[in-house]
Amino acid sequence: MRFVVTVRSVCNSATLPLITPFHGFTQELQRLEHDNYIHMLKKLRQGADAARRDDTSKLKSLVADWVNRELKPNPAVDPEDKYHRGFVNDACGRLLCPTELDWSNPTIRAGIRDRADGYVVTEMSWPAFLYDKYSADQDNLEEGLFKSTLLLQAFKAIFTSPSSAKEVAGDGDGANIIENNRRAMREFHLGKKVKTHVAQIIKMRNVTPRSIAYVSCQLRFALSSVTSWRSVDGDFDYVPFWQHIVDFFERPPGRIAQRKVDQLLAWWTRKVFGTSRRAELTDGQRANMSVNALARQRAQQDDNMFDSE
């Protein structure tokens, strides 16, 4: 059942919102008899677990390679060894470090590794790997958040193929996934064999907050020293971490925050799927474009005529 790829989630509450691409599915699920309903939920959970395992396995070696290429640690991060990642590894520790702490400070590094008072790492801190250039402005913590190269690479590796993760510097010009999807669909209808990816299978055309949250959890796990998936890693709980990210996008405190969220999601969609920037246009920019300007001029002509009469 290829549906498993749509149920990537770290907790039960995340499952239902991720299955919306299948129109009418939730209604059908609710009409099932109780036993069949429970059986279907069990199958969905098994599918979600299988999908998560696939993604975890995929990122294990890829993340090591990306970290080695970008940060050039010495010694390099072993693509097959998870035991020597996490805070015992300087490169992984820098990326996992709470953004309010300075990993370059030996006292702080020792405190984090010893889980000393004042240095306990929980899901209540944004880790550095979420930020552009892996560093945050403490006076403007929103700047650069969810714009890291590693996070973008991990997203593309999971949803649009590991090879597409190599192209993250531009705006998706070299890998217009939507156009590739259309080409693949045409070839499919012509009877040609085509290789599909997760985003194409689930008809994902825009990056969503919950997909970013899911990939953030997967990336953190790949950087950690934990060898098998569990929702709690020491003092860090993945479930509220996932929820904090979802809330950042889905519960902005006001119009300005909402506008920034819309722009950030548009940036993500452009980076992953192509070059369109129309969602980033402000109301003022749209108003000054010639179609709207002409509409105002024509309306003004009628107003002037009315006033002269």
Question: Which amino acid appears at position 140 of this protein?
Answer: N
Query: Quick one: pLDDT band at residue 66, thresholds 50, 70, 90?
Result: very high
Residues sharing a CB contact under 8 Å with residue 217, sequence separation 6 or more, in sequence order: 10, 238, 241, 242
Question: Which amino acid appears at position 33 of this protein?
Answer: E
The answer to whether residues 127 and 99 touch, using CB atoms and an 8 Å cutoff, is yes
pLDDT higher than 80, residue 168: no
- pLDDT of amino acid 39: 66
- Please, what is the average pLDDT of the chain? 81
Task: Give residue-wise pLDDT tens across range 171-192.
Answer: 554 445 555 555 544 554 555 5
Task: Give residue-wise pLDDT tens across range 28-56.
Answer: 666 777 777 676 667 666 656 666 666 77
DSSP output for the chain:
-GGGGGG--SSHHHHGGGGTTSTTHHHHHHHS-HHHHHHHHHHHHHHHHHHHHHHHHHHHHHHHHHHHHHH--SSPPPTT--TT-GGGSHHHHHHHSBTTS-TTSHHHHHHHHHT-TT----TTS-BGGGBGGG--BTTBTTTTBT--HHHHHHHHHHHT-GGGGG--SSSSTT--HHHHHHHHHHHHHTT------HHHHTT--S--HHHHHHHHHHHHHHHSS--S--SEETTEEHHHHHHHHHHHHH--SSHHHHHHHHHHHHHHHHHHH----GGG--HHHHHHSHHHHHHHHHHHHHHHHHHH-
What interhelical angle do 255-273 and 177-189 show, nearest 10?
50
Q: Mean of the pLDDT values across residues 46-71?
A: 81
- pLDDT of amino acid 83: 93
Per the model's pLDDT, the better-predicted residue between 276 and 105 turns out to be 105
- pLDDT of amino acid 143: 97
